[in-house]
């Protein structure tokens, strides 16, 4: 009789035992790693629209959340809106901040590096000439800078290594920094 | 004495008069078109972190909203979180949906094309091999597909032209579909 208990290891609030189990499962059956994320969007009026995310596919099945998450997007008055929500380029910053942070926390946890706190500031420049099609300026962010302030006993060298790894492994940072195809189609 | 009233033209909820005034102002003084968007992010625990957006720079000055917008990000249980919020790659979809929709509505308004409703569905595939650094798979979206259902008296040809224009002019779609630099640095 095996009386040994499985001990759950939690670092930085991340269940490292579950993380390593997931990695083992993926190594055994690659199909588990395939995820599809989805969103439904509805235009309200002017610059306001709402997005709902509820279900996603992953680990070989579709998962539906008990409660969907919704997002209100709008523009400030200066950009012709009513400021009923943050604007889409700010949502992109929120996604990027969250993704690199979670990547950082998880990779640190996997290496046993304890983190006490992380705060970051993101900033990106946009020139409206592009959006308004007034010249050939890119409509998007010219670049996005993220500054991390991290409290941890780890050395600056370890933390620098972790933020570089976090960025390189982050799905949102990767989507932004490489040319990711966006396809639009009209359905009836 | 000039007794002529300025008539405000609103199409699709977009103030077209203000839009054309903005374009005229930018043509006169290009500096007005320069915007900087910002976000502050704070790690809470595990896969949960919160972003706040409050101020931004544009039209030659910094604007601070009376009330900041906040975002809660987390992962579902299967991805080691507590599902306290949508996850970062879903925030990216929300931003993309909102940006292409607002671009579509505004470009239609500028052309005098009336839109009755817009709904869209977004979908993107991610393979966790990349995030987990198990092989050289890209960690990000392999591609993102957006399907638009639009009610309008305009012809399918006009609507197809508008969704292509909306995508090409959209700051988020442009940021995603071209290689946009993401820079990370550690501050003390």
What is the full per-residue pLDDT of chain B (188 aa) written as tens digits? 455 567 899 999 999 999 999 999 999 999 999 999 999 999 999 999 999 999 999 999 999 999 999 999 999 999 999 999 999 999 999 999 999 999 999 999 999 999 999 999 999 999 999 999 999 999 999 999 999 999 999 999 999 999 999 999 999 999 999 999 999 999 97
Q: What pLDDT score was predicted for residue A188?
A: 78
Q: What pLDDT score was predicted for residue B7?
A: 86
Selecting from B39, B127, B186 the residue whose C-beta is nearest the C-beta of A90 gives B39
- List the beta bridge partners of residue A150: A118
Q: What confidence tens digit (pLDDT) does each residue in A13-65 have?
A: 999 999 999 999 999 999 999 999 999 999 999 999 999 999 999 999 999 99
Residues A126-150, mean pLDDT to the nearest whole number: 97
Measured CA to CA, the distance from residue B59 to residue A121 in angstroms comes to 22
Whether chain B has a CB inside 8 Å of the CB on A161: the answer is no
Contact across the interface for B79 and A93, Cβ inside 8 Å: no
H/E segment holding residue B106? helix B88-110
Contact across the interface for B98 and A79, Cβ inside 8 Å: no
Find, among A104, A101, A38, A35, the residue nearest to B90 by Cα: A38
> pLDDT band for position A134 (50/70/90)?
very high
Contact across the interface for B94 and A186, Cβ inside 8 Å: no
Whether chain B has a CB inside 8 Å of the CB on A120: the answer is yes
Chain B residue with minimal CA distance to A88?
B95
Closest Cα of chain B to A1: distance in Å?
31
Q: What pLDDT score was predicted for residue B5?
A: 61
Residue A2 has pLDDT above 70, yes or no: no
Complex ipTM, two decimals?
0.96
Exposed/middle/buried for residue A38 (C-beta within 10 Å: 0-12, 13-18, 19+): middle
Residue A6 has phi, psi (to 5 degrees) of -80, 125
Whether chain B has a CB inside 8 Å of the CB on A154: the answer is no
Q: What pLDDT score was predicted for residue A1?
A: 47
Find, among A67, A110, A11, A105, the residue nearest to B41 by Cα: A105
Residues in chain B with CB shorter than 8 Å from the CB of A131 are: 103, 169-171
Residue A113 has pLDDT above 50, yes or no: yes
Contact across the interface for A146 and B105, Cβ inside 8 Å: no
Q: What pLDDT score was predicted for residue A7?
A: 86
């Amino acid at each position: 009789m095996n009386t040994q208990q499985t001990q759950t290891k939690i670092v930085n609030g991340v269940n490292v035992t579950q993380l390593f189990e997931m990695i083992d499962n993926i190594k055994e059956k690659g199909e588990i790693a395939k995820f599809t994320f989805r969103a439904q969007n509805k235009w309200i009026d002017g610059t306001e629209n709402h997005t709902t995310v509820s279900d996603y596919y992953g680990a070989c099945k579709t998962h539906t959340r008990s409660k969907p998450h919704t997002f209100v997007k709008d523009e400030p008055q200066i950009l012709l809106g009513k400021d009923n929500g943050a604007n889409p380029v700010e949502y992109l910053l929120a996604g990027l901040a969250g993704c690199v942070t979670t990547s950082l926390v998880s990779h640190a946890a996997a290496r046993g590096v304890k983190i006490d706190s992380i705060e970051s500031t993101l900033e990106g420049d946009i020139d409206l000439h592009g959006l308004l099609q007034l010249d050939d300026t890119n409509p998007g962010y010219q670049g996005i800078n993220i500054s991390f302030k991290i409290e941890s006993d780890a050395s600056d060298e370890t933390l620098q290594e972790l933020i570089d790894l976090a960025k390189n492994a982050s799905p949102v940072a990767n989507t932004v920094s490489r040319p990711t195809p966006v396809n639009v189609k009209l359905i009836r």
